[in-house]
Amino acid sequence: MDPLRQSPSPSSSRASSPRTFSCERLGYVGIEAVLDQLKIKAMKMGFEFNIMVVGQSGLGKSTMVNTLFKSKIWKSTMPGLRVPMPQTLQLHSVTHVIEENGVKLKLTVTDTPGFGDQINNDKCWDPVLGYINEQYERYLQEEILITRQRHIPDTRVHCCVYFVPPTGHCLRPLDLEFLQRLCRAVNVVPVIARADSLTIEEREAFRHRIQDDLKTHSIEVYPQKSFDEDINDKILNSKIRERIPFAVVGADREHMVNGRCVLGRKTKWGIIEVENMAHCEFPLLRDLLIRSHLQDLKDITHNVHYENYRIIRLKESHALPRGPGWVNLAPTQSPTPTGTRASPGPGKVCRWAEDDSDEDF
Amino acid sequence: MVRLLIDETSSTSLVKMSKQQPAQFINPETPGYVGFANLPNQVHRKSVKKGFEFTLMVVGESGLGKSTLINSLFLTDLYPERVIPGAAEKIERTVQIEASTVEIEERGVKLRLTVVDTPGYGDAINCRDCFKTIICYIDEQFERYLHDESGLNRRHIVDNRVHCCFYFISPFGHGLKPLDVAFMKAIHNKVNIVPVIAKADTLTLKERERLKKRILDEIEEHSIKIYHLPDAESDEDEDFKEQTRLLKASIPFSVVGSNQLIEAKGKKVRGRLYPWGVVEVENPEHNDFLKLRTMLITHMQDLQEVTQDLHYENFRSERLKRGGRKVENEDMNKDQILLEKEAELRRMQEMIARMQAQMQLQLQGGDGDGGVHGHHV
């Protein structure tokens, strides 16, 4: 190509319009400036990210979220503090807008206190699945309106972080049931919680056993093998897949180590540094969720999981639910749509839609 | 009360040594001396010859380090061929009872230790029936002892009753889980419960204190009867009193188990090697392992006594009150039994009525040879 071409420096946030270049250079069209335009637009709009944390109480979920986003999203509950154990599984979400270098992120974290804490934990995954499907439904309803909003508020869960207790043995039946069901509906990232109770050898053995269990039960966790688009993705994701589940430790207190201020847990025998790769794999989790794969998580949620949900809903009713501005999306050759009125026949579908719209107005 | 003489090689423990050494023998010619002060020595000699039996049950979710702790406590390898089952097998498994016996000898004193493990506890999604197996086992041992005791030959009764139950509490929770509470309430009248916080190296000191306090509060709240160390008697020396006080203040013990030797600060210690440091098992600042061991050893006799005097006697009186009638289903209450009896009665009555009708027919048929004609109205 043209040897004189120069790409704009990556750190410049100002859009360099083609006019500032010597656009009179031969062979230069200026398509690459689209990237800058996208960037400005994205920064203006801000990003949304919805994350759900699932796991038994005391596994450090709240602390992990605080550590991930370096903010006090939740008031992390200390062990031993009087926390009333909820009798049924309740979900509650918290939304924060955090900003870094001009980039705004609207972060919603959904917690699931009471998961797996009862004596009988049968069907404790139902409220979680219900919540996820509810968000899909909400988005679907917005999408099928005639006059849609320009930017549909996205409350769909982009990522579900599942905390596996560090038993050192293998996945428990509860873990397996939950993962099997949820992997089909949402991106699941399993992590080994409170990994400071495992030595390095125990950690590796545990990890391998979990990977074997996941393979045996055909549970596809994020990053899913079937969604790798090209060879680069494959290589990158394979590296990540080797280390899943990450062994993480969360901490929101700072201590002084060798003159540096680090996040960590201080014990009598040493300080566990959260961001030290030799101690735990928290940096890998953070990079996956935020620095490298955040957009990918959202894309897969939108293109795969949401579409699956939509297809199921379509199949269920042969038409989408009748909301305001209901439109019959069923193909014209479809048989009798469900409803109390007798079908006038396939040829009359359009008229039927008109009739209905008369009814609505 | 004879105190067990098990010498501790570790210099940090303060096991009370009996005041009367067997070597010292008071001169029998001293005036006013009868000689029965020598009785404890005789008992001691006999007990040493006989050996001691102790059954310890360990209960807790899998992965809390129970087997490692037992191996560390008794410096043995109780589970040499342990195969950890995979996740698929765990789904089908119910709670099982595995008892392993090992004979340990130290300085001439023999201990026959039985460790009862309960794999599968707390694993299932629905843990409602988790503890039925365990309670059945405990009752079975009591039943067997009662049977032996009431038998003809009482010389060699093998005591397999569970003397102590270590209940492992997960350090990851915020206190006791509903399953913990339910289980402890179900067995606190049958066995001595010693709650233990497992894998204590995940907790900082503050977290540990808070968790201990929370657990004690919850135990009191639910009126769970755990094993209480007996207070030191007033004639004991100050060291022993202080030790007992310390032990009592540390319940529930937060322990770490390991049998691996790690090099730390120039000497070899048992511990766990992490990238950020070494957790020493026998360091009282790191965890309460030594306290747990001390408690178990100095109070082994007391645990056995409480099992015999309290739990076994309770069981025995309940059992004898029931009068040997085997109660199949304890959930059946009196009304149900009454209804069943009434139904049976009715059935009996119906049967009698039928038999009577049959007899009637036969009688009629008997003199009814001419009765056929008798039907003419």
Question: Best interface-test mutation with A: which of B94, B221, B274 has the largest number of A CBs within 10 A?
Answer: B274
- Residue B94, classed as helix, strand or coil, is coil
Whether A83 and B91 have beta carbons less than 8 Å apart is answered as no
Question: Best interface-test mutation with A: which of B91, B95, B172, B278 has the largest number of A CBs within 10 A?
Answer: B172
pLDDT digits (tens, 9 = 90+) for B62-86: 888 888 888 888 877 766 556 666 6
Least confident span in A345-349, B224-228, B260-264, B350-354:
A345-349
Cis peptide before B284 (omega within 30 of 0): no
Question: Which is nearest to A320 in space by CA: A152, A186, A158, A309?
Answer: A309
pLDDT for the residue numbered B25: 59
Question: Which is nearest to A79 in space by CA: B375, B39, B46, B210?
Answer: B210
Q: Which residues contact A136 (CB under 8 A, 6 or more apart)?
A: A156, A305, A306, A309, A310
Check if A88 contacts B (Cβ < 8 Å). no
Higher pLDDT, B301 or B372: B301
B85/A269 Cβ within 8 A? no
Higher pLDDT, A77 or B41: B41
Q: Which residues contact A2 (CB under 8 A, 6 or more apart)?
A: A25, A26, A27, A28
Concatenated DSSP letters for A192-203? E-SGGGS-HHHH
CB count in 10 Å sphere of residue A13? 12
Question: Which is nearest to A266 in space by CA: B213, B205, B279?
Answer: B205
pLDDT digits (tens, 9 = 90+) for B243-294: 888 888 888 999 998 888 888 778 888 888 888 888 888 888 888 898 898 8
A194/B63 Cβ within 8 A? no
Pick from A59, A83, A169: CB nearest B172:
A59
pLDDT digits (tens, 9 = 90+) for B105-114: 777 778 888 8
pLDDT for the residue numbered A241: 87
* Span B121-135, average pLDDT: 83
Quick one: pLDDT band at residue A259, thresholds 50, 70, 90? confident
pLDDT for the residue numbered A335: 45
pLDDT digits (tens, 9 = 90+) for B28-53: 566 777 778 888 888 888 777 777 88
What is the pLDDT of chain A when averaged over all its residues? 78
Check if A219 contacts B (Cβ < 8 Å). no
A269/B276 Cβ within 8 A? yes
Q: How far is B272 from chain A (nearest CA, A)?
A: 7
pLDDT digits (tens, 9 = 90+) for A165-204: 998 888 888 889 899 999 889 999 999 999 888 889 999 9
A173/B91 Cβ within 8 A? yes
Contacting A residues, span 166-185, partner chain B, CB-CB under 8 Å: 166-177
A166/B63 Cβ within 8 A? yes
Pick from A58, A119, A266: CB nearest B127:
A119
Burial of B202 (0-12, 13-18, 19+ CB in 10 A): buried
Nearest CA in chain A to B126: A120
A166/B275 Cβ within 8 A? no
A269/B274 Cβ within 8 A? yes
Quick one: pLDDT band at residue A290, thresholds 50, 70, 90? confident
A177/B125 Cβ within 8 A? yes
Pick from B88, B128, B170: CB nearest A119:
B128
Across B225-234, b (16+ Cβ under 10 Å) vs e yields ebbebeebee
Pick from A212, A216, A278: CB nearest B275:
A278
Check if A215 contacts B (Cβ < 8 Å). no
A78/B207 Cβ within 8 A? yes
A216/B274 Cβ within 8 A? no
Quick one: DSSP state of residue A303?
Answer: I
* Span B327-348, average pLDDT: 72
pLDDT digits (tens, 9 = 90+) for B152-183: 888 777 888 899 999 999 998 888 888 889 89
Angle ∠(A24,A25,A26) on CA atoms, nearest 5:
110
Contacting A residues, span 24-53, partner chain B, CB-CB under 8 Å: none
A174/B174 Cβ within 8 A? no
* Span A328-357, average pLDDT: 42
